[in-house]
Structure 1
Amino acid sequence: MNNIISIIDKAVIFSVINKVWSVLSGILSIYFLTKYLNDNEMGYYYLISSILGIQIIFEGGFSSALMTYYSKYRDISLYKNGELKKLLKYAKKWYINISALFLLIVSVFGYLFISLKGITGFWEYPWFLSVTLTSLSILFLPYITLLESLGHLGSIQGYKLNFAIIGSISSWLLIANGFGIYSIACILLFSIFRDMLICIIYRNKLKIILNSNHCEKKIFIFSELKVMKNKLAISNLSMYFGFNLFIPVIYYYYDSETAGKMGLTWSALTAIQGIGAAILYTKYPLLVELVHKKIYSQAKKEWFKISLFSTIIVLICLIVFNIIYLIMKFNNIYIIEKFTNLTTIFILIIGILALQLINCLNIAIRSFGKELLMNVNLICNFITGLMIILMGKNYSVIGIATAFTSVILIISLPWEIIILKKLWRENVKV
């Protein structure tokens, strides 16, 4: 029992540090991008990154579904009956197909989309290299998910942190030496090296599974896996619409420079939002434990304290960001030209603050162990995506920012407040 707790603690610690590093590296990346890339290059940098984000649609949330069923085989004595081998074989086949489809479809249609503006000569090689590396990284997912599920989550999170740091530093060096867009491929390459190293380190455990007896009986969880996978796939599709559609839409309707300015602004603001998420995540395991033990009053107090603290931190960061922006604009500092206009930033700041409140609600709702947010996420993200497409055409970046913020304020936030109130009413004895 103590070993399990230490594994969980280790995983949580490394996960939080990973989130913190993600925020810090994002901020440092903004410095290098604004210093060494021109507006056009920066636009293609964020455009390529946004299109590669479509991987979550192809992957379809299968890793999350697999982890649920892999976890049933923590005891090594269960490996030999062949069920885990059969499940892994099924997952390998799925990911090989997904990897091939991603490489074929995204490389071709992504190329056609990016080349719509007729600008060529500097983004093609980085694009095809990044797509190829992304497709290769997909092939490691069944093994990494398996090892995480079998009790190695903490160690693997540690490897992810180390390689994330190495990858980020290497990408900054590339940007500083004139290879800006190639930095995307650099980070992907280090993630592949990381996954290869993890598989080598845990090769003995993988060999035990792969050399286990052949399982003749039918594994009924395949049908359950497909149902869960389909639900998560729809959820991932909606998530892409809600958070990754900004840049491609702006690029399609306008140009790479406008897309780059929006991409840089969005990266800065989401980095601030990531700080709040990282703070909230530190208390999530405690909330789950308290709710599981039905100590609801203490859970409510802990949730309120961490929510208030993280929201205040995000608010302070947003205010500081806005002050710095105004100071730079007043003094005509060149970096300010890399960001989008002040009106759009102000609208997005309201949206990010509202998103922070939603994250606070999310950890409280999910601590009850029920997935009650799927319908909220699906509907709100699809509405956001549709509004981004419609308003982006007529009202440029201001319309896109308004679409994002208005859906959060008018639909998402009230809806999740109602869900949480219902949960407290049903579970907490007053």
Structure 2
Amino acid sequence: DQVSVTNRYRAFQSITGTLVAWIVISSGGGIWTCVAICAVRLFWELWLIGVRYRQFFVSLLPPRSGEQVSWSEEVWPIQWKLAVQAMATYFTSSFVIPLMFEYQGPEVAGRIGLTWTALITLQMAAWSWLMTRAPLFGSLVAQNNIPELNRVFRRLTQVSTIVLLSGGTLFCLIVWLLQLVRGVELPAGWDVLEPVWYLIQKLQERILPLYPTVLLALALIPIHISQCVMAYIRPFKQEPFLFMNTLTQLVTGLLVWYLGKMYGPVGAGWGFLMAGYLLTIPGFLLILQRFITRQK
């Protein structure tokens, strides 16, 4: 099961990358933290290629006879579309952080960076319910077992959406509780909890207040819906998302830039919401509806 192996190494990447980030930050590494995290990811990817799957990749080196895969006809038509969309994804993933740094200062940028990273990690965790089943979707499409594909897709979409909504609600609840204890002194006789209380006070100073956090949490839903739609259609070797996905990313970036520089994290949150609920959700559901109609 190569999916489980890949996911296990991704878990190693996340864990070791987080540990290295903490070490570099605590050592005063500053911006070199980003370099260290990338180095950790590169290490595990090279380990997969050079150690774990070395024999497989070595077997690909000798020239082969017989029918060859046409890169220009079978790979390039979809890959270039994916590449364009991947570059545009920057506007819904990381653009807001340097934007806040430029217009609102490093403190606000740090707070929105920590909050948004935590929320995006939550969304990716929920999305993993479908992402790890991508080989299954491809197999069902190859077998033309569309009823089973629809059943599995519907069930996994429901589960992943429930996980996202539950996790987002819990995260906002934690932020609300942290705001409640802001500036509150530890009760007498509870000195043993002073280190933990100190960390709690520091944490609430490093994340956004509840209102912009709720806006950003709600902005995850359009992202999740679009990814679910793409997970369903792409196993059919079709990529009808280039225009809509790129457009929504660029519009999101423009709204986040305009509202964010004017109103800070709250404005950025509303920028995400406006683009997501007025453009992303209707656009991707329309693509899904048209695709299903053509398949009938």
Do they fold alike, i.e. is TM over 0.5? yes
**Secondary structure at the residue paired with 1:371?**
coil
- Aligned AA for 1:344? P
**Secondary structure at the residue paired with 2:89?**
helix
**From 19, 22, 26, the counterpart of 1:169:** 19
State TM-score, norm by structure 2.
Answer: 0.79
Aligned residue for 1:275? 125
- Aligned AA for 1:405? L
Q: Residue 358 of structure 1 contacts residue 416 of structure 1 at CA under 8 Å; is this kept in 2? A: yes
Note the C-alpha offset of 1:256. Answer: 0.9
RMSD: 3.0
Q: Residue 343 of structure 1 contacts residue 398 of structure 1 at CA under 8 Å; is this kept in 2? A: yes
| 1:15 partnered with 2:10 | no
| 1:379 partnered with 2:244 | no
**Residues 212/338 of structure 1: CA separation in 2 closer, same or farther (3 Å cut):** same
Deviation string, structure 1 residues 277-321 (Cα, Å, up to 9, x no partner): 111223322222223322222211111111111111111111111
Aligned residue for 2:176? 326
Aligned residue for 2:273? 405
**From 344, 357, 362, the counterpart of 2:212:** 344
Of the structure 1 ranges 282-291 and 409-418, higher mean CA displacement relative to structure 2 is found in 282-291
CA distance in 2, matches of 1:229, 1:303: 24
**Secondary structure at the residue paired with 2:239?**
coil
Note the C-alpha offset of 1:178. Answer: 4.3
**Residues 329/18 of structure 1: CA separation in 2 closer, same or farther (3 Å cut):** farther
Written as runs of structure 1 = structure 2, the 5 A alignment for 1:159-238 is 161=12, 164-179=14-29, 181-194=31-44, 197=47, 201=51, 202=54, 209=61, 231-238=81-88
Aligned residue for 2:221? 353
Note the C-alpha offset of 1:262. Answer: 0.7
Aligned residue for 2:165? 315
| 1:421 partnered with 2:271 | no
Note the C-alpha offset of 1:253. Answer: 1.2
CA distance in 1, matches of 2:166, 2:129: 14
Q: Residue 91 of structure 2 contacts residue 252 of structure 2 at CA under 8 Å; is this kept in 1? A: yes
- Aligned AA for 1:417? L
**Secondary structure at the residue paired with 2:236?**
coil
- Aligned AA for 2:204? I
Q: Residue 49 of structure 2 contacts residue 57 of structure 2 at CA under 8 Å; is this kept in 1? A: no
State TM-score, norm by structure 1.
Answer: 0.56
CA distance in 2, matches of 1:167, 1:400: 28
CA distance in 2, matches of 1:171, 1:420: 40
CA distance in 1, matches of 2:220, 2:71: 39
- The percentage of counterpart residues that share the same residue type is 23
Q: Residue 78 of structure 2 contacts residue 239 of structure 2 at CA under 8 Å; is this kept in 1? A: no
Written as runs of structure 1 = structure 2, the 5 A alignment for 1:23-422 is 161=12, 164-179=14-29, 181-194=31-44, 197=47, 201=51, 202=54, 209=61, 231-332=81-182, 333-422=201-290
Gaps of 5+ in 1: 1-8, 22-160, 214-218
**Secondary structure at the residue paired with 1:370?**
coil
**Residues 228/422 of structure 1: CA separation in 2 closer, same or farther (3 Å cut):** closer
Aligned residue for 1:47? none
Deviation string, structure 1 residues 121-153 (Cα, Å, up to 9, x no partner): xxxxxxxxxxxxxxxxxxxxxxxxxxxxxxxxx
Deviation string, structure 1 residues 162-213 (Cα, Å, up to 9, x no partner): x55444333333334444544333223334444555665449965984x879
Q: Residue 164 of structure 1 contacts residue 187 of structure 1 at CA under 8 Å; is this kept in 2? A: no
Note the C-alpha offset of 1:346. Answer: 1.3
CA distance in 2, matches of 1:220, 1:312: 41
**Residues 17/421 of structure 1: CA separation in 2 closer, same or farther (3 Å cut):** farther
CA distance in 2, matches of 1:221, 1:284: 22
